[in-house]
Amino acid sequence: MKTRTTTMLSSAIESATGVALLAVPDLVARVLLGTGLSDSGSAVARLAGCGLLSLGLACWPSGDEPTPNATRALFIYNLLAGFYLGYLRVGGGFVSFLLWPACFVHVALAVLLARPALRAVKPE
């Protein structure tokens, strides 16, 4: 898969998740984690939604190739998100049916972005 396509896919997923967290944070938590949110949890989830929407929009490729910074940012985010979602399923006690698929999607995107992200790092 081309780097531009992978970056667009990852940006679209993060933007859509950001919008969903802004609009209905409790529903996102119930579907992803299998539990609801308190009022403070909803506030933090909406703030996370702002961050995800910003990440998705900032990393959306505008030319033929995405910028190295956008590729690295999406690689790091997907790697960390994939590992954390896996941890929540294995060690965090969450059992939602979407937790494993979300984990695998993030890890797969991280794998696809790894080479372009690491290639963009130039030794000084």
pLDDT at position 107: 96
Give which of 106, 73, 72 is closest to 87, Cα–Cα.
106
Domain ranges of the chain: 3-119
Amino acid letter, 44: V
pLDDT at position 78: 96
pLDDT at position 44: 96
Phi-psi category of residue 31: left, alpha or beta, with phi > 0 → left and psi -120 to 50 → alpha: alpha
pLDDT at position 57: 94
pLDDT at position 123: 60
Phi, psi of 59 (to 5 degrees): -95, -5
Please list the pLDDT of the chain residue by residue as tens digits (124 residues). Answer: 788 899 999 999 999 999 999 999 999 999 998 889 999 999 999 999 999 999 999 999 887 788 889 999 999 999 999 999 999 999 888 888 899 999 999 999 999 999 988 885 666 5
In whole angstroms, give the CA distance from residue 85 to residue 3: 24
In whole angstroms, give the CA distance from residue 15 to residue 24: 14
pLDDT at position 22: 96
pLDDT at position 2: 87
